[in-house]
Structure 1
C-alpha cells in the first residue's frame, strides 16, 4: 500500500512538471540561412509561457566557430497566439558575423525559466531548450578575389589635415587623419587602406584606432587612422586618394566612397639642417608619441574639461540661488498683499455681492462689510444711518426681511433681487475718499446664524 502511494505521488509530481514544461517553450528564428563571409544575420529567441514570468530568464553563453556573436540585452515583451491559446512571450536577439566559408548551425540554447503552471500561482523552475538552426556561409564572389572584402549597410569617409596645405615647404610635417564610419558591421572588419611609399615624402602610418559604436538595434564601427608625411622634395605633387569599397547585402551590389586626394605645392627651404634629425625622430617615435599624446590630457567630466565644468557648475549654482531668492521675495510680497486685501473694505463688499440669497447670508455679509466701510454721515448701526439719510427704501426692505425672519419665524425669507443693487448705489454715493479705510483684524470671525 505504501509503495503504491509513493508511485502515485511520484506520478503526480512528474505530471505537474510536465504540465509546466508543456506550457512554456522557446524557439529561435534566423532571418538568413545563406550569407557571405562577414555578412551579419539576426537570430531572434522567443520564450513563451501560458501564465507569466516570476524571474528574469537565464541562459548559457552561445559560441559559434569562425563567427563573432553580438548579444543585445534589450528584451521585448509581446503576446503570441499558438493553437488558439494566448502566451506571454519575451524576445531577445543576437547578431552573428561569420567570417569563414562553411556549413554551420546556430546552437541549441538551454534557458532556465521561472513560471507558474496553469491554475497555480506558485512558480516553478524549468529548463527549456531551442532547436539548432543551420546556415551556410558562402565564399567571396570570384570577381572580388584579391580585393578587400568588406560587408556593411553604409559607409562614410571623412578626412582632415593638421595644417593648411598652402605655403608648404621642404621639411614640413603633415598629418592626414582618415575616419571610416561603417554601419551594420564590427570595427574589426573595417579594412585598412594602402599607404604607398612616395618618392617626395616619407610616410609614417600610425596604428589605427577601432571604436565600437553599436546602438540598441545594430552593430556599428569606426576606424580612425593618422598618416604622417615628412615633405623631402620641392615641387608639385599629388597626394593619392583613399578609396573604400564595400558590399551592401541588402542591395546586393558594390558601393564605393573615397577621401579625395590633394595637389601639394612644396617650396624650397634653405634651412634643412634639421631634416635628417627630424626624419630619424619620426621613424623611431612617431607612433608611440601619438599614442601617448592621445592618452594624456586634462581631466574631463562629461566630456568637458574639469575647470570649465567647475565654472559652469558655479554659474549654475549662483543662478539657482538668485532665482530662488527672487521666488521667495515674490511669494512674500504676494502673501502680504493678500493679507492686506482680505481685511479691506473692497474684499468684504465683494463677498457681500457674491453672498447667496438665503437665510442670514446676505444680511450677515452686509454687516461684515459695514464694519469696514468708511462713509459720510455713517453710524455704526445700519438702521440709524439709513433713517438719517435719503435711503429709506433700503431700510424698508431690511425691515420687511427682519420682520419675516424674527417676528414671523420664516427662516427661508429672501431679500429682494434689487437689494444688492441699491447697496452698491449707496456705497458709490457716500464712500469717503478723505479718510483711510478701517482695517478689521483678519482673525475676527463673521457671525453666522445657528
Structure 2
C-alpha cells in the first residue's frame, strides 16, 4: 500500500515556522509503492515537487538512470491540496523501475530545478530542490526457477507461425518456426530467450530475435519475436515437445503459464539427397551472417546525426571556424559601412542632396539648405547671389527667387560648373568631406 506523506511534510514545515504568511515553501518528496521486489518486478517511484504558490514552467526530468535496473518514465501529473487555508500546488513525475539483477538498488537523490514565483509575485524564480534517495531490496529468482524461465508480468500472450505446411515435409526441407511473446508491464530486455529442445535427425538454426517496447501514458508492454529453422535430415516421425512459458504476476502473487502444444511431423523420403548438404551449408552461412550482423550492431560505435564521434567533432570545429570567419566579415562590413555613412553625412554631396530635397519645400527652407551646401565649398564669398552670379551664367537663376527659377537640372549644372572651374573631376562615388 502506498503511503501519502503530504500531511506529515506540511506539518513539519509549519512546525518550523514556514507558513502561508512567511517565506515561500518549496519541497520535494520521493515515494515507492514497494520496498522489496523480485528481479524484474516493477516498482513505481513518484517524484513530487510542491510549492506554496504555483509553477511558471513545466517540470520534466526525463528518464533517470538507476544502477542495476531499467527505468521507464511515464508522465507528469498535476496535484494540489489545501492545508490550514493555504493552497499548495504540486507536480508528480511517475517512473517504473525494473531491477535486472538480485543486487539491491537505489533510486538516486536528485537536484530538481523549478521556477515558481514568491508569495505576492507573478514572475517565476529558479529554485533548486534536492530529493532524498530511495533504497529498494531486490529478492533473487526463486530456486525452483532458472533465469531462462523467470518473467515478471501482469499478462503474457504467445503465438507461433510456420513458414510452410507441417503436414507435407520431406527430407531436406526447411521449416521456419516463429514464436512471438507479448508481455504486459515489463520491458523487452527482461523477456528471457526461448530455450530450444534438441531433436534427433534434425538440425536447428536459431535466427536473430527482435525485441520492442510499447509505452503509453499509463502502461508499458514488451514483445519478443524469435525464429528457428528446422532442417529434417531423415525420414520418419519427429516429435516437437510442447513449449511452456511461465510468468509471475506481482499483484496476484501467482504463477501462470502459456503452452504451445506438442506437434508430430511426419518426414517423407526424398530421392534427391544430394541437395541436403548444400541446404545445410546455406543455413549455416545464413546463421553466421545473422550472428555477425547482431554482433556488429551491439558493437556499433557511437554516432551523432549519422556521424562518428570523430567526424562530429571535426564538423563542429569546421562550423565554429566558419562562424568566426562570417562574424569577422560581418563586423568588418559593419565598420566599413558605418565609416562610409559617417563620411557621407559630413560631405558636400550630402548637403547638395538636401538642397535637391528642399526644392519641394518653401523658399526659406530652400535658401537655408542652399546656404548650408555652399558652406562646404571653397568660394570667396559664401552667398547665394555671388555663387549664382559666378557659376550660373546662362542658367537664368534668380538668387532672390530660387523657388521659382531653380530646377534640379539647373542646380546640377551649377554644381558642375563650380567643379569644372576648380578643376575637380567628379566621380560617381565621389565624397568631399
Q: TM-score, normalised by structure 1?
A: 0.57
Question: In structure 1, how many angstroms separate the alpha carbons of the residues matched to 2:183 and 2:97?
Answer: 17
For residue 144 of structure 1, give the secondary structure of its aligned residue in structure 2: coil
In the other structure, the counterpart of 1:187 is: 188
Q: Which residue of 1 aligns with 2:406?
A: none
* Cα RMSD, aligned residues only: 2.7
Aligned position for 2:343: none
Residues 177-219 of structure 1: CA distance to partner in whole angstroms, max 9, x if unpaired?
A: 0001111111011111222222121100012111112222233
Deviation at 1:40, TM superposition (A): 0.8
**Deviation for aligned residue 1:290:** 10
Choose 144-153 or 188-197, whichever is displaced more. 144-153
Q: Which runs of 5+ in 2 are unaligned?
A: 1-17, 294-433
User: Does 2:272 correspond to 1:280?
Assistant: no
Q: Residues of 2 paired with 1:145 and 1:191: CA distance?
A: 10
Q: Deviations over 1:64-123 (max 9, x none)?
A: 221111122x22223223454221222221111112224433222211111111111222
- Distance change in 2, residues 1:169/1:257 (3 Å): same
- Deviation of 1:19 after TM superposition, in Å, equals 9.0
In terms of mean alpha carbon deviation, does 234-243 or 101-110 score higher?
101-110
> After the TM superposition, which residues 56-95 of structure 1 pair with which residues of structure 2 at under 5 Å, given as runs?
56-57=58-59, 59=61, 62-72=64-74, 74-95=75-96
Match of 2:117 in 1: 116
Classify the secondary structure of the residue corresponding to 2:120.
coil
Shift in alpha-carbon separation, 1:231–1:59, aligned structure 2, 3 A:
closer
Q: Which moved more, 1:175-184 or 1:259-268?
A: 259-268
Cα distance change of structure 1 residues 171 and 58 upon mapping to structure 2, 3 Å threshold? closer
1:104/1:134 contact within 8 Å kept:
yes
Separation (CA, whole Å) in 2 of partners of 1:109 and 1:46: 11
Does 2:150 align with 1:149? Answer: yes
Q: Which residue of the partner structure matches residue 42 of structure 2?
A: 40
Asked if the contact 2:60/2:93 (under 8 Å) is kept, the reply is no
The answer to whether the 8 Å contact 1:59/1:112 transfers is no
CA distance in 2, matches of 1:19, 1:109: 29
CA distance in 2, matches of 1:112, 1:190: 36
Query: CA–CA distance in 2 between the matches of 1:59 and 1:216?
Result: 16
Cα offsets for 1:243-298 (capped at 9, x unmatched): 21111111111111122221111111112221111111111114637999xxxxxx
Q: Deviations over 1:117-164 (max 9, x none)?
A: 111122211111222222211122233356622211111110000111
Q: Which residue of 2 aligns with 1:178?
A: 179
The Cα of 1:236 is off from its aligned counterpart by 1.7
Provide the TM-score with structure 2 as the length reference: 0.59
Distance 1:108 1:78, change over 3 A: same
Aligned equivalents of 2:103, 2:225: Cα separation in 1: 32
Match of 2:51 among 42, 49, 52: 49
TM alignment of 1:91-106, pairs within 5 A:
91-106=92-107
